[in-house]
Structure 1
Amino acid sequence: MLRYASRRVLSAIPIAFIAVSICFFILRLAPGGPFDGERALPPLVLANLRAHYNLDQPLINQYFIYIWRLLQGDLGPSMVIEGFEVSQLIAIGFPFTLTLALSAFVIATIIGILAGMVAAVNQNKWPDYVMVLAVMIGVIVPNFLMAALLQLWFGVYLDWFPAGGWVSGRWEYLVLPITVLAWPHAGRISRLMRGSMIEVLGTNYVRTARSKGLGERLVMARHAIKPALVPVVSYLGPGLSYLLTGSLAVEQIFGLPGIGKYFVTAALNRDYGIVLGTTLLYMFIILALNLLVDLLYAWLDPKVRYR
């Protein structure tokens, strides 16, 4: 297992290098720049700024300078937020983003698994139909539209929860953002769990367990849940990465102090350092989550072995 994990880590290095290179050149070749504001800067000031951030050098030189700094663990300075390094801004905003995404992940995973089990046991009955309807709403409606609707209904009309902003230690400010993030994730997990559970409940060993007189709850707990979780686990890694990336837009809509506000502002203002640094962070998180999911396969399914 450890040998397999080490091979996966080594194989991820060239993938990360290629992804960083592609992101670097896409950003630099896009129209506009970090100093192209509405108010034009004096030519001397603009030249000094470009020289300070190495933007006056050929593109290939800028690339090798960035890669050399990156190998030393330096993500570079922010070109728009004066006096801050990219690593400092990530350290400020990412803990809140991670807390928000993990909260939505845990809640959605528990609800999705339970809803999928209930729908599978009550196949083609009203609990199954209710679950399908909830899944369709969560999957079809994009998160930015869902966020606006929940803000309007529960934040403005009903005044049950704050429509935006953040006050430290006040959990009610997180109810609507977590709902927006968790709903589609729970819907996808419940669909996977429902289909997998229906298939497992029709297997020979489950029928044999029932024929021996075991109760339905005991059959589910001992024989059905664990194999039914295999396709769900395969989605959990990408699902958490979707929540982390999706939280960027949700944070911007609700005005939360996560990394989303830095990323969106940086993308609009061509702040190359923050965009590349955030992209690198999420890329390594996705690779790590996929590796963790592969390792969990061996625990859930005894037939899976990595050689």
Structure 2
Amino acid sequence: MLRYATRRVLSALPIAFIAVTVCFFILRAAPGGPFDSDRPLPPEVLANVRAYYNLDQPLFMQYLLYIGGVLRGDLGPSMSSYDFSVSELMAIGMPFSLQLGLTAFVIATTIGVLTGMIAAVYKNKWPDYLLVLVVMIGVIVPNFLIGALLQLWFGVYLRWLPAGGWVPGSWAHLVLPVAVLSWAHAARISRLMRGSMIETLGTNYVRTARSKGLGERMVLARHAIKPALIPVVSYLGPGLSYLLTGSLVVEQIFGLPGIGRYFIQAALNRDYGMVLGTTLFYMLLIIALNLIVDLVYAWLDPKVRYR
């Protein structure tokens, strides 16, 4: 298992390297620069600033300098927050983004698995139809629209919850952002769990268990849930990465102090280092999550062996 994990990591690193390279040159090819503003800098000041950030070097030399810094663990300075490096800004915003994403992940996964099981057990009955309707809303409507509607209803009209902002230690400010992130994720998991559970309940070993007189709860707990979870687990890795990257937009909508605020500001201000650093972090995170999913497969399905 350890050798398999090592091979997977080594095979994924070239993909991350290619993605960072493509992102680097696309950012440089975009019109504008990090120091373009309504009030232009004096030429001598602009020349000093460009020299400080190595922007006066040829493009390929800038690329080599950046890759060399990444290999040393240095993501470089931020070009929009002048007193901070990219690593420092990520260290400030990442804990909140991880808290938001992981909270939504746990809630959405639990709700999605339970609703998928209920829909499968009551297939083609009113609980199934009701859950499918709620699920389809979460899949079809984009999260930024759901976020705006929840802000309007619960934050402005009803005044039940804060419409935005953040107060340290206040759970109320997390309810709406977590609900927006969780809805689409729970909807996808519910659809996967429903289809997988229906297929599992029709297998021979489940029918055999029922013929032996086992109750429906015992059949679900002992024979149906574990194999039905296999397709769901395959989605959890990309799903968690989707939640963490999707939180960038949600954080901006609700004015939360996560990494999304820094990333969007960096994209608007052409902060090359911050955009590249965030992209690299999420790529490595996705690689790690997919590896964990592959390892969990071996536990859920004894037929799976990594040689």
Q: Under TM normalisation by the shorter chain, which class is it?
A: over 0.9
Q: Which amino acid aligns with 1:113?
A: V
d(CA) in 2 for partners of 1:110, 1:145? 24
How far residue 41 of structure 1 moved from its aligned partner, in angstroms, is: 1.1
The equivalences for 1:1-307 within 5 A come to 1-307=1-307
Deviations 1:121-162 (A, max 9, x none): 000001101111111110111111110000000000000100
How far residue 292 of structure 1 moved from its aligned partner, in angstroms, is: 0.4
d(CA) in 2 for partners of 1:37, 1:238? 38
d(CA) in 1 for partners of 2:172, 2:188? 26
Q: Which amino acid aligns with 2:262?
A: Y
Deviations 1:206-258 (A, max 9, x none): 00000000000000000000000000000000000000000000000100000
The runs of at least 4 consecutive aligned structure 1 residues that moved more than 2 Å come to none
d(CA) in 2 for partners of 1:9, 1:264? 29
d(CA) in 2 for partners of 1:131, 1:191? 10
d(CA) in 1 for partners of 2:146, 2:17? 36
Q: 3-state DSSP class of the match of 1:294? A: helix
Q: How many residues align?
A: 307
TM-score (norm 1): 0.99
How far residue 265 of structure 1 moved from its aligned partner, in angstroms, is: 0.1
Q: 3-state DSSP class of the match of 1:223? A: helix
| Structure 1 stretches lacking a partner, 5+ long | none
d(CA) in 2 for partners of 1:80, 1:285? 25
Q: Which amino acid aligns with 1:123?
A: K
Deviations 1:91-126 (A, max 9, x none): 000000000000000000000000000000000001
d(CA) in 2 for partners of 1:198, 1:275? 43
d(CA) in 1 for partners of 2:8, 2:157? 51
d(CA) in 2 for partners of 1:32, 1:154? 40
Deviations 1:17-41 (A, max 9, x none): 1111111101111111000011111
> Identity percentage over the alignment?
78
Q: 3-state DSSP class of the match of 2:51? A: helix
Deviations 1:167-186 (A, max 9, x none): 00010000000000000000
d(CA) in 2 for partners of 1:94, 1:223? 40
Moved more, 8-17 or 146-155: 8-17
Q: 3-state DSSP class of the match of 1:229? A: helix
d(CA) in 2 for partners of 1:205, 1:199? 12
Q: Which amino acid aligns with 1:264?
A: I
Q: Which amino acid aligns with 1:118?
A: I
d(CA) in 2 for partners of 1:24, 1:163? 36
Q: Which amino acid aligns with 1:26?
A: I
Aligned-pair RMSD on alpha carbons?
0.5
d(CA) in 1 for partners of 2:208, 2:122? 20
Q: 3-state DSSP class of the match of 2:7? A: helix
d(CA) in 1 for partners of 2:264, 2:80? 12
Q: Which amino acid aligns with 2:184?
A: P
TM-score (norm 2): 0.99
Q: Which amino acid aligns with 1:3?
A: R
d(CA) in 2 for partners of 1:209, 1:251? 48
Q: 3-state DSSP class of the match of 2:256? A: coil
Q: Which amino acid aligns with 1:204?
A: N
Deviations 1:32-90 (A, max 9, x none): 10000111111111111111101011100000000111111000000110110100000
How far residue 12 of structure 1 moved from its aligned partner, in angstroms, is: 1.3
Q: 3-state DSSP class of the match of 1:128? A: helix
Q: Which amino acid aligns with 1:276?
A: L
| Structure 2 stretches lacking a partner, 5+ long | none
